[in-house]
Amino acid sequence: MAMLNTVNRIDRRDTLDKLARIGFITRGIVYGTIGVLAAKLAMGFGGGTATDSNGAIQILSNQPFGQFLLILLCIGFGGYSLWRFVQASNSIKGTDNKKYLDTIKYIIMGLINSGLSYFALNLFLNRSTNSSSTQSQTAKLMSQPMGLFLVGLLGAIFIGVGLYQFYKAYSEKFKDDLKTEQMNSKEMDVTTKVAKAGLTSRGIVFAIVGFFLIQASLNHDPSKAKGLDQSLRVLIDQPYGSFLLGIVALGLIAYSAFSFINAKYNKIEVY
């Protein structure tokens, strides 16, 4: 019986490992789409636009093999969220204070990816996706008790996540999650470069989103809130905006490449 239980645990871990790796692939596809479209917008090419994850999924659904891509995205994001929820469940059993932060982080990541999986599933089934704008979502949150505080807190969290992306990039903390012993020197060099570029661009976008959420809270005005797509448009409205957007877009493409690297080399720890 003990041996059977051990075999079952190994099978579950292997299944979770495969699902998580598919999740990294789907994340890479979506971020790559966002980055390429933003780069085309920065360079003035036709078809360029600023979009977010939901918008990228919609665009992918309209491509050749769009239905297949939706199935892949649904499974990938769903599997990734399951992995994060399992990590959350196991991390709370830890003995140090860090377990609480880890648990919250894993839960948030699980919820975000669950939402993306559900969005892709609705598109596949031709259901209404009900993709409300950042402003309308912020307005709903503001209408709740302590809504202004919650919007401001959410903005602070976004900025905090953005700053952590910078720290993770330049401390090379991202290497802790990778099977670096399986990489040769060239693979490690490429990984380091794309990770730093990708995490930096992601950090910039998160910080911009957080800044505008705080502005919305301080001004009691949900119209000031901006999502990923609108944050990218903010860049292009600045001096040398096309250049700035182009740099961030290339960084998002690098983050896409880093996601594909994670699909192969991430340790997929469950605890």
In the numeric block, the tokens 């380091």 are attached to: 192
Which pLDDT band holds residue 75 (cuts at 50, 70, 90)? very high
- Say which residue, 106 or 145, is predicted with more confidence: 106
- For the segment 64-68, the average pLDDT, to the nearest whole number, is 90
Q: Is the pLDDT of residue 10 over 90?
A: no
C-alpha 193 chain-centroid distance? 19
Q: Determine the Cα–Cα distance for residues 42 and 212; give it in Å rounded to an integer.
A: 22
Q: Which of 65, 74, 267, 112 is nearest to 174 (CA)?
A: 267
Residues of the chain with pLDDT > 70: what percent? 92
- For the segment 190-211, the average pLDDT, to the nearest whole number, is 94
Q: What residue ranges do the domains of the chain occupy?
A: 18-265
Q: Is the pLDDT of residue 47 over 70?
A: yes
Which pLDDT band holds residue 46 (cuts at 50, 70, 90)? confident
* pLDDT at residue 98, rounded to an integer: 66
Which pLDDT band holds residue 3 (cuts at 50, 70, 90)? very low
Beta bridge partners of 178: 266
Q: Determine the Cα–Cα distance for residues 94 and 206; give it in Å rounded to an integer.
A: 29
Beta carbons within 8 Å of 256's beta carbon, 6+ residues apart: 27, 28, 29, 31, 32, 35, 198
Q: Is the pLDDT of residue 246 over 90?
A: yes
Q: Is the pLDDT of residue 5 over 50?
A: no
- DSSP-derived letter for residue 176 is G
* pLDDT at residue 94, rounded to an integer: 61
- Ranked by mean pLDDT, which of 26-30, 47-51, 207-211 comes out on top? 26-30
Q: Is the pLDDT of residue 217 over 80?
A: yes
- DSSP-derived letter for residue 182 is G
Q: Is the pLDDT of residue 131 over 70?
A: no
Q: Is the pLDDT of residue 109 over 80?
A: yes
* pLDDT at residue 4, rounded to an integer: 40
Task: Check: CB of residue 259 under 8 Å from CB of residue 28.
Answer: yes
Q: Determine the Cα–Cα distance for residues 3 and 228; give it in Å rounded to an integer.
A: 49
Which pLDDT band holds residue 143 (cuts at 50, 70, 90)? confident
- For the segment 51-70, the average pLDDT, to the nearest whole number, is 91
Q: Is the pLDDT of residue 178 over 90?
A: yes
* pLDDT at residue 9, rounded to an integer: 59
**Token pair listed for 89:** 């469940």
* pLDDT at residue 7, rounded to an integer: 42
Give me the helices (H) in 43-172, please: 53-61, 66-91, 98-124, 134-142, 147-170
Q: Is the pLDDT of residue 234 over 90?
A: no
* pLDDT at residue 189, rounded to an integer: 96
- Ranked by mean pLDDT, which of 4-13, 145-154, 163-172 comes out on top? 163-172
Beta bridge partners of 266: 178
Q: Determine the Cα–Cα distance for residues 269 and 132; give it in Å rounded to an integer.
A: 34
Q: Is the pLDDT of residue 192 over 90?
A: yes
* pLDDT at residue 236, rounded to an integer: 87
